Amino acid sequence: MRIVFVFLFVAGLAAVGAITARAQDNAGQQAVATIIQNQLNAMAAGDRAKAYSYAAPFIQQKFQNPDIFMEMVTRGYAPLIAPQAVEFQRFEASGGLATQAVMLVARDGSAWMATYFMQQMEDGSWRIAGCQLEKLPGGAV
């Protein structure tokens, strides 16, 4: 009888741990999606400083001010500026790093997959540490 109780207790703890991990993943995914959406909104509004504020510190060091940052975005990541549609997809997190896949339709109607690389800061907030952009086959949507 005691073995059954110990087994049920351990199984219960494992279930609580799995639920807690899922809740943390959901909270992390929501926080990451909010940061990405906020940056997309800032870029669409032309708010360079706000868009820049969501970048990880090493990105801010590389692109030393909001104007330089937005020049880089305009040249290499134009589909991210005022997309017609945004859909958050696959999310993966491990430790203080995460990836978030985002399918979007650019202003010109072309379809893209953006994979965002996220870094968690010491205060628990998330920042964008990079983005890989891939045009989806099939042309315009």
Can you give the pLDDT at residue 27? 80
Residues 106, 83 contacting (CB under 8 angstroms): yes
Can you give the pLDDT at residue 10? 43
What residues are paired with 101 via a beta bridge?
Answer: 115
Can you give the pLDDT at residue 140? 62
In angstroms, rounded to a whole number, what is the distance separating the alpha carbons of residues 65 and 61? 8
19-28: which pairs have CB atoms within 8 A and are 24 or more residues apart? Answer: 25/91, 25/93, 28/91, 28/93, 28/98, 28/126
Give 106-128 pLDDT, tens digit per residue.
Answer: 999 999 999 999 999 999 999 99
Rounded to 5 degrees, what angle do the CA atoms 125, 126, 131 make? Answer: 170
Q: Report the predicted TM-score, pTM, of the whole model to 2 decimal places.
A: 0.80
Can you give the pLDDT at residue 25? 64
Residues 112, 133 contacting (CB under 8 angstroms): yes
- Tell which CATH classification among 2.120.10.30, 3.30.420.270, 3.10.450.50, 3.40.50.2300 matches the domain 2-140: 3.10.450.50
Average pLDDT value for the chain: 87
Question: Which of 99, 103, 88, 108 has its CA nearest to residue 136?
Answer: 103
Which parts of the chain sit beneath pLDDT 50? Answer: 1-2, 4-24
